[in-house]
Structure 1
């Protein structure tokens, strides 16, 4: 039997000698290789071996239960933070906070501080110390210039306004302006290029570092390459921060090969990695699952006597445990005890947790047995961690055995029960979770807030509205502390049942309970209202957000406007767009004001990038605050592209105009001139060659859309490969565009192949990807029903909720081909996913009517017993239309009368169907009369 802890020294070798040039080149060409590595083969062999030893593992577990049962459990909390005492809320596919990787944002490690002196006043920032500036206050100049750079809807060009103010700019001012503009890198880059033209000004390493950081954060690696070329051209030396920023940004984008190449160049230039560089590299490698290379970097750190901090140790253990490298886990644990002097008990707990996080239950059980053999006392934390690990590995029965042992020691509490309940909910076993929930209350344990909340969420998703509501009332009666997640769970439940007034009542009382609504709270409220198409209520929520000065993210507005467009409510669309413009303007002004309040914010970007700070913007998920273009410029470009036919003439007109092209302007131009596809694609290629301009993912996406619409698939694929060559991160939306363009023309085989390539590249499909693929597979051109069924089920299992358009297309396809059993399964899945019974069945009934299966539709209406009135209101129009199509006028009129009796008035759709039917009948009678006269 292996000994888990052997006090042995690591045999260190310099990383240079262990990472060959071949390895570095291999990683530079592959950011996410789907080809199995030797290490992955070793892991697979290890897993096969485990599978062959299931019986041994079971007997090992029995032995462990005896060991745990033989000890007196002693509650113990470590001072090192290996366990998180607060309860965390988790969803279906999550696990509590104790089992999340201890990931620390690497933003701080590449901070924009280039001051090398170590004396003077220092500001703490993550693990880095930043020297405070003790020079003349230039904040007023910086603020005014920042306002010009980031100004929206200004007729004068940025460069003209900057020329007019006439400030004398030095590198310090430029650096601070660039830091304030890091969220809009293309505007920052225009300012960066403008200031180069000023007499006597020369960019410094600090200003280049700031610009490199902003470009890297935006994943604009073509801009990064241009900046590096400029530094070489103007002999601007790179310092340790330059290299750190580059390694960090490539690592965050999972371009591990490029990060390794930068590290090699850094060594050749005479710089050795410091703690920040090692931390950035280890974070990148562990996040990318490159445990072997991460271990080599760690060994080099230890050889150079650079000691990791605790979070780095824990992250490395998690990565190594996940890869199955038990000997490496042993070595790192030895160093934690021997070198970093961390108490053995704390290290043992940390290692056990790493195994449990990685799902390595066999290794976890072996560790416990060996600790027992070493007469190490197994306390409460060991048992609790093991229960979590067993639940995560879907071994709830084994976890319950551990709980029974803990019961005999009288150390079972509500937290342990909550872990088991969460395990049941992850397996969709709601009834077992409720039974255990009842039992724990009978034993006198008070459930945690998170346990109540998880149960409520699952009850509402299962259409057990009343039970979920009773659970919330029970929380209030028993004095359980209510948090925002619990409140929003009951609000969502009310909205799904169309109890809007009750939802507002609960939401309004949040502040009375001392809970301030967060951006997430508002977002959930709006998304639920969008699902039931209550657009007037959505406007009320947006008004409330604006009144509370809450930042509203772009995707919220996009979802709201999309919902309103489906209903055709132009007035509400105008209101929402007006709110959007106001929000963008206030956001810009607020950020400038915030930057002026603190000199610290001029010196760095927040390192805690994994913390949910209200109002934080993510360049990858939302659009820039500024549109960075003038509407007049857009109209001028569109006029040139649409009024001229020959590209040479168009190109001449574009070169004569004085418009400053930005990615936002180009993307909007392409979006508006899809009818002039040839000119648009020529424009895209031309503008990409202009000095200072860099294409973005959005501009590429628009160009690919135009190519696909024109069925120029070769050009579309060429643009895709060009994105890859230039180092762009390929998001799910880019894949979705190619899938949609092939699928809409009936080339569904190719669309499926691209979908497979997407998943093989490591990119997870999102809602849009699944939607476009399934809709294409259900279309009349290239229809593939079996594949559509398979992918729809995959979408549901992945936790994605289909929208109304997708559900209608899918159900209509199934009904048309007679796969009614699969259609019924889809309805059951929708109900579990949160659709109400009336909404789900109404979509199915409409699909049956459209497929001419009237009798099946009428039979289905009779089968539904819950919320009959709501279902009738949703479906009576489709049923009337179906009856008229079959010539059953009397039944159709009877249906209309019955609806009137229960207070449901006929819709325009019903009246239109009746009018069309009467005209058709009259036309047939007239034809018969003319024939008889003849």
Structure 2
């Protein structure tokens, strides 16, 4: 939940620049066209699961309707979530062969973006070859999508190779394409290679420096390289680019995750120093900044510091959100502080914060995992009182847990309650049957018989003694053989 909240804040700070044009959104950009009668026939042929690719082409050859560029693009758009990519590729290549040069560059670009979305390297490679062979023009948006797909597939060399040869695809190396390859490389932590692109194309990125620095900072943070991340921050200040909240949160995340592995005791002091630096540049930390720290504190089970940070947030101008309370309650429940954890949840409710159903579902799952079903039931009552919805997964956790613990009566009560509310349950009704469901009874380790242990102990001592004597004889023999070899 913290990760998703952090990611949501990222694009809000980059929307002011033109880099949005090469974002990785892969939605269709096709204009709505009235569907001709033959469109459905082509879609049925491509999505058919009968026969192989050669059979597909034979069926396409029997197609008697009129074929044009808009229909080809519409078929690709209609079947991209249903048909296999290789069938779509064969259809597209067949269309190109039949239409000759009637297929437009925008159709090629759209098809390439679809195959990049599907992460089909072979299909992408074939179309890229056709781009060069037929002299097609690749647009900047398509290059951005292709570059990111290549990097996600672990083929960053191929992504850089396309970038260096963009002239063969009749695509300009400008601020859009340069920023696209930098962003693609940094998304998987290849910050050093991205800095090489920056060095060779400084003149192209003068207008998008803030975006480039954010990408580089994120790239180094993926590697948890605090030294290089700090260097990027200093370089930004030197070049007159003041780091904003996103930059500092990225650096803070890098620092906390590094300390989580190598210096847990330095989590709080070093994170607070960064927040102090933020304030000196008139960048106020938000709940997301503190949640990054709370998340790492929870992973290392530092309960006292987590509670202190939440208390400090309440006393300062930073208002905790429900994620903050979740992170503290989670570490309290995991460490066995159930009373304090319940207080934290009550405190959140008193402040009027309304979390989504994932808050309750996650905490209830933790309580069931540590065998505190009664606390889980109490928390479920609070969930129903807040009317957040999403009760189905919680019922699916609680009912089997109660029945396997022997409380079939309460399990039946929750089942009837869910049925009355119209909640669809995924668990089987058989779980309510005591003759089917095996009741889990925790077993204590059996005590060793005193008489048996007295017999076993001398035998073990004798065995250990014989083993030691054997090892000594072997060592003495090796020593003797070594002396003989040296004398000879």
TM over 0.5: yes
* Cα distance in 2 between the residues matched to 1:203 and 1:127: 24
Query: Aligned to 1:327, which of 224, 231, 237?
Result: 231
Counterpart position of 2:39: 142
* Cα distance in 1 between the residues matched to 2:37 and 2:318: 61
Counterpart position of 1:171: 69
| Deviations, residues 300-344 of structure 1 (Å, cap 9, x unaligned) | 676424645988765543333332211113334666xx45xx7x7
Q: How far does residue 400 in structure 1 lie from its aligned partner after superposition?
A: 3.1
- Matched position secondary structure for 1:838: coil
**C-alpha spacing 1:365/1:203, structure 2 compared with 1 (3 Å):** same
* Cα distance in 2 between the residues matched to 1:351 and 1:418: 21
**C-alpha spacing 1:423/1:279, structure 2 compared with 1 (3 Å):** farther
| Deviations, residues 439-477 of structure 1 (Å, cap 9, x unaligned) | 66379556754554332111222333333122212333x
Counterpart position of 1:285: 185
Counterpart position of 1:60: none
**C-alpha spacing 1:102/1:417, structure 2 compared with 1 (3 Å):** closer
Describe how 1:462-861 pairs up with structure 2 within 5 A: 462-476=370-384, 479-484=385-390, 486-498=391-403, 501-502=412-413, 504-508=415-419, 526=426, 528-529=427-428, 838=439
* Cα distance in 2 between the residues matched to 1:177 and 1:461: 49
Are 2:365 and 1:457 aligned? yes
* Cα distance in 2 between the residues matched to 1:103 and 1:376: 19
**C-alpha spacing 1:285/1:534, structure 2 compared with 1 (3 Å):** farther
Q: How far does residue 237 in structure 1 lie from its aligned partner after superposition?
A: 2.8
Describe how 1:210-221 pairs up with structure 2 within 5 A: 210-221=110-121
Are 2:304 and 1:397 aligned? yes
Task: Confirm or deny: 8 A CA contact 1:333 1:347 kept in the other structure.
Answer: no
Q: Where is the helix percentage greater, Structure 1 or Structure 2?
A: 2
- Matched position secondary structure for 2:439: helix
Are 2:252 and 1:252 aligned? no
| Deviations, residues 477-522 of structure 1 (Å, cap 9, x unaligned) | xx324231x54223321133346755554544666xxxxx8xxxx7
Task: Confirm or deny: 8 A CA contact 1:142 1:173 kept in the other structure.
Answer: yes
Are 2:92 and 1:192 aligned? yes
Task: Confirm or deny: 8 A CA contact 1:359 1:389 kept in the other structure.
Answer: no
| Deviations, residues 589-639 of structure 1 (Å, cap 9, x unaligned) | xxxxxxxxxxxxxxxxxxxxxxxxxxxxxxxxxxxxxxxxxxxxxxxxxxx
Relative contact order, CA 8 A, sep 6+: which one is greater?
1
Task: Confirm or deny: 8 A CA contact 2:179 2:212 kept in the other structure.
Answer: yes
The alignment yields a C-alpha RMSD, in angstroms, of 4.9
Task: Confirm or deny: 8 A CA contact 1:146 1:181 kept in the other structure.
Answer: yes
* Cα distance in 2 between the residues matched to 1:196 and 1:178: 13
| Deviations, residues 701-725 of structure 1 (Å, cap 9, x unaligned) | xxxxxxxxxxxxxxxxxxxxxxxxx
* Structure 2, unpaired ranges of 5+: 12-20, 260-266, 450-488
Are 2:171 and 1:271 aligned? yes
* Structure 1, unpaired ranges of 5+: 1-89, 105-122, 512-516, 537-566, 568-835, 846-855, 860-934
**C-alpha spacing 1:507/1:244, structure 2 compared with 1 (3 Å):** same
Counterpart position of 2:478: none
Counterpart position of 1:304: 204
Counterpart position of 2:16: none
| Deviations, residues 66-111 of structure 1 (Å, cap 9, x unaligned) | xxxxxxxxxxxxxxxxxxxxxxxx4xxxx4643458677xxxxxxx
| Deviations, residues 373-418 of structure 1 (Å, cap 9, x unaligned) | x485867659845753652563443343344445555977574443
Describe how 1:888-907 pairs up with structure 2 within 5 A: none
Q: How far does residue 291 in structure 1 lie from its aligned partner after superposition?
A: 2.0
**C-alpha spacing 1:510/1:359, structure 2 compared with 1 (3 Å):** farther
Counterpart position of 1:365: 272
- Bigger shift: 455-464 or 437-446? 437-446
Task: Confirm or deny: 8 A CA contact 2:310 2:320 kept in the other structure.
Answer: no
**C-alpha spacing 1:196/1:433, structure 2 compared with 1 (3 Å):** same
* Cα distance in 2 between the residues matched to 1:159 and 1:345: 55
* Cα distance in 2 between the residues matched to 1:194 and 1:414: 55
Q: How far does residue 250 in structure 1 lie from its aligned partner after superposition?
A: 0.9
Task: Confirm or deny: 8 A CA contact 1:175 1:206 kept in the other structure.
Answer: no
Query: Aligned to 2:136, which of 237, 244, 247?
Result: 237
Task: Confirm or deny: 8 A CA contact 1:318 1:354 kept in the other structure.
Answer: no
Task: Confirm or deny: 8 A CA contact 1:357 1:389 kept in the other structure.
Answer: no
What TM-score do you get using the length of structure 2 for normalisation?
0.65
| Deviations, residues 416-449 of structure 1 (Å, cap 9, x unaligned) | 4433223445xx31x2254233266379556754
Task: Confirm or deny: 8 A CA contact 1:244 1:277 kept in the other structure.
Answer: yes
What TM-score do you get using the length of structure 1 for normalisation?
0.37
Query: Aligned to 1:261, which of 143, 161, 164?
Result: 161
Q: Number of matched residues?
A: 409
